[in-house]
Structure 1
Amino acid sequence: MSPLSIALAGGGTGGHIEPMLALADALRRRDDDLTITCLGTARGMETRIVPARGYDLRLIPPVPLPRKPTLDLLKVPGRVVGAVRQTAALLRELDADVVVGFGGYVALPAYLAARRAHVPVVVHEQNALPGLANRIGARLAARVAVTAPGTPLRHAEVVGMPLRGAISGLDRAARRAEARAEFDLDADRPTLLVFGGSQGAASLNRAAVGAADALTAAGVQVLHARGPKNTDVEVPARPAGEAPYVVVDYLDRMDLAYAAADLALCRSGAVTVAEVAAVGLPAAFVPLPIGNGEQRRNAQPLVDAGGGLLVEDADLSPAWIEQHVVPLLTDADRLAGFAAHAKAAGARDADEKLAEIVLEVARG
C-alpha cells in the first residue's frame, strides 16, 4: 500500500503558514512515510519558510480575493479558471488523498481543483470571522475545523489553532531565567513584551516608547520588538539600577520572548491570540484597525475569559499604558489570575486533533 499523499494549502502570511506547518509536523510525527506537499505562490512568505522547515513546496497561481463584496469580486472567476486547471493537474501528479486548506489566495484554487480532481477537502479556519476562500471551501469540504467557538461556518468542529511544538510545549516558568538572560533582562522584575507582528506596529511602538519612563520608573522592564524597518524607534539606556528597556528589531525565538514576559502588548491576529493563551501569557490586545474586524473578534473570547485586556488602536496611548498596564504588572496576585484564565482558555493539542481529522478523511 502506497503512503498517503497530503496536500496543504496555506500560503501568503504567517497566519496561514504557521498552522499549516504545525499540522505538517503533527502528521509527520504520526507517520514518517506520509508524503506531505505544501502549496503556495511565488509571492508569499512560504517560499522562504516552508523549505526551511523541511517540507516540499509546489507553486500554484495566486487568486487575490477581496475582503468584502466589491467590483473586484467580479474579476475573481477569470483569475480562478487557469489557477484551478494547473492546481488540479498538480493534485493528480501528487496522487493526493486529501487537500487541507487554511484560507487565503492559495486555498481557493486548491479547493476548486480538489473538487475537479475528486480529492476530499478539509478546511481549517483560524479567525473568528472567516474569509471568502474558506466560506467557499466549507461548502465543498468533507470536514471543517475552526479555532474558535461560534465561527460561522457550516458543520464546524472546534479544534483550536495548530501551534509549533516550541510554543505548545512551552513551560514559561521553567524557561524564565534562561529567557530573561537571553534578552539581557533582570531575573526578577515584572516584564512587558511589546510586539506588533513580524513587521512591527507603529501605534504600539509610539505608545510603548512614550510610556517608557513610566514603565521603568515603576520597576517594569520591557522587551520591545520594533520591527526591522522601524529603526527610528529608540529608547535611551536606563540609568544604572533602573529597570531595563530592551529594543530589538525582530524576535527569532518567540518561545523565549513569551517565557521572559509577564504580560504582552500586541496585535490580536489569530495565531498570536492562540499562542499567548496556550502558554498562559496574559495580553493587552490592540486589534488592527483595518480589515473586517476579525482581530477584535479573535481577542474577545480570551478577554471575556479574564485572560487579557482590549484597547482600540485609536485609544492606545502612553497614558493608557500608564493607567492600565503598569498597575496590572505591579500587582502580582492580579497578574497571576489573568495568567491562569489565559491558560485555561488556551488549546495546546489542536495540531493533533486536526491531524486525526485529516488522516480520517485521507483514509476514506
Structure 2
Amino acid sequence: MDLTNSLKSTMVSQSSPPLYSKTLQILSPKGFFSISGIVSKSLAVTQPLLNVSNAMNRLYILLISVGVKVVSVTSSCTSWGESACLLPMPIIIQIIKMKQTLFTLLSLLTLSSCAFYDCPKHLSPLRSDLEGLELVKQAHTEKLKFSSECLEILLKKNFFLSSEYLLNEYYPKTSIDTEVIVRNVAADLKRSQDHLVFQIKKREKQGVFPIAKPVVYWAQSTEDLLIMIRLHELLDTPDCRESFERETVIEDDRIRVQAYCYTSEDDIKLFDTEELELKRPIDAGRSTFEWRGDGRVVITLKKQDGPSFWKYMLKDSVREAKELQTWWEQRDKHIEQLEDYIMEENVKERAAKKANDDL
C-alpha cells in the first residue's frame, strides 16, 4: 500500500477534523503540486502556506519502539480511538520532509517578496543628478533593493553622483558585478558619440570616404555555401572594431556587403565587397546572415541544387582565385560529408555510363 493510501486508510473519515484534512492535503501528491504551482504564480500563496504550516505545528510526535504516535494538541486524534493515532514510521518521516519543504517555500517567498526600487519609473524621467541622489538615498534608507538596471540608467544619464553613491553604499554588499556594467555602459556611450561624429563627417564629406575591400572566406556543405566576410584589408590585421550603416544584400544570383569602419574621426573607410555574382543560383528566401560584432558577418546561402558540390562559388573564377580565401574551419568540418557525396556521385555516373554503353 503506498504512502498516501496508507495515510487515508488510517486517518481519513467523513468526520475528520480540519487538522488532518490539511495534513493529508500537504502530503498528497496532488495537493503538494497544486501548492507548488501557486508558489510559481503569485505571492498570494503566503497565507495558505502559513495556514498549513500552523496545522502541521499542531502535531506532536511521540517516537516509540513499535511505531510513532501522533497526537493533536487539541486531542482530537484520541477522540477517534487509539488506532487513529498510531502511524507507521514512513508516514511520519514523510510528514517531517513535507514540513521541511514547506519551510523552504516560505523562506523563498520571504526572500522574493523583498521590495525592489522601481528605477525605470522613478529615475528615468529625472533631469538632475542631485534629484537622483536624493531618491536613491531615500530608497536605500527604506531598505529597498536596487537591480543592475538602476546603475545602468544612472550611468547612461550621466548621473555620476547617484551612481557613485550606489557603487559605494549598496552594490558592494551584493553579488552584482558592477565593473562589467560600468564597462558596458561606457562602451555604449562611446559608440553613441562615435556614431554622432561619423554622421557629422559623412555630411562634411558628402558620403565620400576611402573604399577598401573586405576579405571573403568561404566553404561549403552539400546543402549550403558558408561565407564569412571580415572587415579588414589584410589577413593578419584585426577586424574593424566599430562599424556603422552595415548592409547585407542577398539575391538568388549575387550577394553584397557594405559597412563604414570607424577608427577615429580622421580614419573612416567604406568596406565594400561590390557585387559577388554566384556560379549557380541559391535560394535567397532561405538564406541567412548574422553580424558577429562590428567586424565580421557570417552568411549561409542555401543551394537551390542541393545536395551538390560547387567547384567554384563565383561566376568569375579568376576573381575568385584573386579575392576569395578558404574558410578552413568550416571546410574541415564538412570535408568528409563532401567526399562521401562526391564518391556516391562518381559511382552513379559510372553506373549510368555503363548502362549507356550496354545499349
Whichever structure has more helix as a proportion of its residues is: 2
TM tier, smaller: under 0.3
TM-score by length of 2: 0.25
Higher share in strand: 2
- The structure whose Rg is larger is 2
